[in-house]
Amino acid sequence: MHLLFVDESGTAPPPHKTSTKYFVVGGVVIPEDRHHVEYDLNHLKAQYSVRGEVKWRYFGQKNRS
């Protein structure tokens, strides 16, 4: 079995409008036995001092100095 994680960013356009500035839906499929994925993610978070949920706003182009 596999697990599917899906998340969105931005606001979906209303039915009468064909576009908005940004709306993204992304997902990842991982094996149910996900311990190696969890270990790798925790290692990366520790390496970059990230706590809690990983948010794009912390890494986006506007946030780079």
Q: What does the pLDDT look like over 7-65, one tens digit per residue?
A: 888 877 777 876 667 788 999 898 888 788 888 888 988 998 888 877 766 666 665 54
Report which secondary-structure segment, H or E, holds 23: strand 23-31
Q: How far apart are the first and last CA of the chain?
A: 42
Q: What is the pLDDT of residue 60?
A: 62
What is the pLDDT, as a whole number, of residue 58?
A: 63
Alpha-carbon distance of 57 to 31, in angstroms, equals 28
The model's pTM: 0.51
| Predicted local confidence at residue 54, as pLDDT | 73
Chain position carrying tokens 């970059």: 48
pLDDT at 62: 61
Cα separations (Å) of 1 from 5, 30, 34, 37, 40? 14, 9, 11, 15, 20
Task: Tell me what pLDDT residue 23 has.
Answer: 81
